């Protein structure tokens, strides 16, 4: 009997799959942070974006575009965040690469400026001046 954890993205039930191609598939996030939060996942079990083959990379980008077009038609978000947590130190909790496509809606945050920069709140607000850090 295997003691290895079961990957939630390997063997997804077909009814969860919205779009697919030979290399990747699209599903809605099971724990969405906004309405329509979507994941694009390679079929091959790899942890890092940097381990994608050229074919897989192209396939993920193609499906990202398809998912965005569908979300734009169905939900009309004002914008999108696209994100990857690549490695445990970056917050990756499922060690199977997945690209988050997060629809953003006008008013969903009081001030959305900075987007993904808010993972480090003390450095996110670069436009106000006091947090400026010179590049090393």
Alpha helices in 22-93 (DSSP H): 54-75
**Given 19, 45, 96, 98, the catalytic residue:** 98
- φ, ψ at 38 (rounded to 5°): -125, 150
Alpha carbons 30 and 121: distance in angstroms, whole number: 26
Q: Is 98 a catalytic residue?
A: yes
Alpha carbons 104 and 33: distance in angstroms, whole number: 10
Alpha carbons 40 and 100: distance in angstroms, whole number: 7
Residues with a known catalytic role: 98
């Amino acid at each position: 009997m295997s003691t290895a954890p079961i990957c939630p993205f390997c063997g997804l039930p077909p009814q969860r799959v919205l779009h697919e191609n030979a290399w990747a598939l699209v599903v809605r996030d099971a724990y969405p942070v906004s309405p329509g939060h979507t994941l694009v996942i390679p079929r091959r079990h790899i942890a890092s974006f940097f381990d994608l083959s050229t074919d897989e990379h192209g396939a993920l980008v193609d499906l990202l575009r398809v998912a965005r077009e569908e979300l734009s038609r169905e939900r009309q978000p004002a914008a999108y965040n696209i994100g990857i947590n690549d490695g445990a130190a970056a917050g990756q909790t499922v060690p199977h690469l997945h690209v988050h496509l997060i629809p953003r809606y006008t008013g969903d945050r009081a001030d959305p400026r900075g987007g993904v920069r808010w993972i480090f709140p003390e450095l996110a607000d670069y436009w106000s001046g006091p947090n400026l850090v010179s590049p090393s």
